[in-house]
Structure 1
């Protein structure tokens, strides 16, 4: 890979860099799934580095999808192979976390740049094969001295289809070589019981202590606080009602706001229609100690 440096607000070999003077720098890789490859606050990198890490969009589904399959419904005149008499069609996505499909396709696509300036940027990609419905995903980034707002929308170019959207950030457990481990605080209304197959069973249970690789319900909106003592407090908020918290890895903690639970295309499908696109946003706001 070229060692060319990224210029502020412009695509480069290492991505698009946004800068809030003096406090925060954000690097986005539209060529690599439109993931955030770096977020530096007060000279401290807060995201785990590496091709699979940073923070990536989950779209058009979030988390695991059972056996890589989801159902949709068609009018009788559109029924074909694989359809039932009720108009149900079962679609098969690539199984990339056997036996399931995980985290959607958006993170594997090259996104196109719609607009960029010093502190904001917008990118888009088209949903194509193997996703069975034509559509477009747009993601925007707005950086300030003390916050980052992310917004994602999913539109259809034709038929309605079920979809989800969310984000999968890998926050470093420790900032810098001498920093204390991060503390995670949140107050969910329930926890989705996780089955042996790592999918929600459909039962809502009282939240249990970690470690977690679990989905939680927050009907008033996601609100999770990460605190690195003496260094930084960062709040992840969203109007979305579900969040997955994954704190099993030694190096990082994931706090994933999303528009539905894992396997939600099958259990609580949200249709994207020509007059009702899916839109979800999250804000990361921080206070420096």
Structure 2
């Protein structure tokens, strides 16, 4: 197996396709033969590391040193560097796989990002570790799925249900202002606080109910695309490496786990 070969996992009537040669992204997740993820380039589901969401104006500071990342979502940097890098397949079986990415330029600190996937007929566990070789650095992580709104077996469009404690007020520059506000109605391109852990339910009526759960405290919900919506469980809010940095040290990597569990629904 080469880095360009896709990795396929099968468990019962669920199938997952992972693309090491495309930033370690998930290219496909099917349940009972139905694709759940959007398929055009840059969609599917990709990892966000070593930061998640927008990095304000592409800069962050460690000690007295300020670092600048490439601006790929002007005026900000977005979703980290790992999704653009090469991934090594560490191990793969019928239902589980582990991939590893070396953090390199433009990220200024040596380290690794490791993804682990475990598939069953009723769910997918995504695990992420961000580790440093030597020097401490601030980090965030998560995944950015693109779930299709309309599926052929469903009797209606995808519905999203969750109960956040607050919404991060979004400024004109799309960064959190620092204020917590009452959740607003959609449409959203917003981050929500769920301090007891993320719990979001997606329902394709008459077909499938998919629950996203994690111990991480924040979730971005993006409903603006017409074809898809995204539910991004992540370890901090946008620009969190600046506003609330979680330092990764040799003795303290950042570990994140997100579970997608589903149950089949009968048509009404």
The unaligned stretches of length 5 or more in structure 1 are 1-9, 74-87
Matched with 2:33 is: 43
Say whether residues 1:233 and 2:223 are aligned partners. no
Larger of the two Rg values belongs to structure: 1
TM-fit CA distance, 1:130? 1.0
- Could you give the per-residue CA deviations for residues 50-75 of structure 1, whole angstroms, max 9, x where no partner exists? 220000000000111111001111xx
Alignment of 1:178-193 (within 5 A): 179-193=155-169
Q: Distance in 2 between matches of 1:51 and 1:134?
A: 29
Q: 1:113 to 1:186 in 2, by over 3 A?
A: same
- Alpha-carbon distance between aligned partners in 2 of 1:24 and 1:18, rounded to the nearest angstrom: 8
Seen in structure 2, the aligned counterparts of structure 1 residues 156 and 12 have a Cα distance that, compared at 3 Å, is: closer
Q: 1:13 to 1:59 in 2, by over 3 A?
A: closer
Within-5 A mapping of 1:37-186 = 37-73=27-63, 88-176=64-152, 179-186=155-162
Match in the other structure for 2:7: 16
Shift of 1:227: 0.3
2:175 to 191, 199, 206: 199
| Alpha-carbon distance in 1 for matches of 2:170, 2:263 | 34
Structure 1 residue 12: Cα displacement: 8.2
Q: CA offset at residue 14 of structure 1?
A: 5.5
Local SS of the residue matching 1:99: coil
Structure 2's unaligned 5+ residue stretches are none
TM-score by length of 1: 0.90
The number of aligned residues is: 265
How far apart, in 1, do the equivalents of 2:68 and 2:157 lie?
A: 41
CA distance in 2, matches of 1:140, 1:177: 30
1:157-195 Cα offsets, whole Å, 9 max, x none, are 011000001000000011128641100000000000001
CA contact (8 A) 2:5 2:20 kept: no
Q: Where does residue 80 of structure 1 map in the other structure?
A: none
User: CA separation of 1:130/1:13 partners in 2, compared to 1, >3 Å: closer, same or farther?
Assistant: closer
In 2: Cα distance, 1:127 partner to 1:31 partner: 15
Q: 1:157 to 1:12 in 2, by over 3 A?
A: closer
Q: Deviation at 1:261? A: 0.4
* TM superposition score normalised by structure 2: 0.97
* 2-structure distance, mates of 1:240, 1:104: 18
**Consecutive aligned runs of 4 or more in structure 1 exceeding 3 Å deviation:** 10-14
CA RMSD of aligned residues (A): 1.2
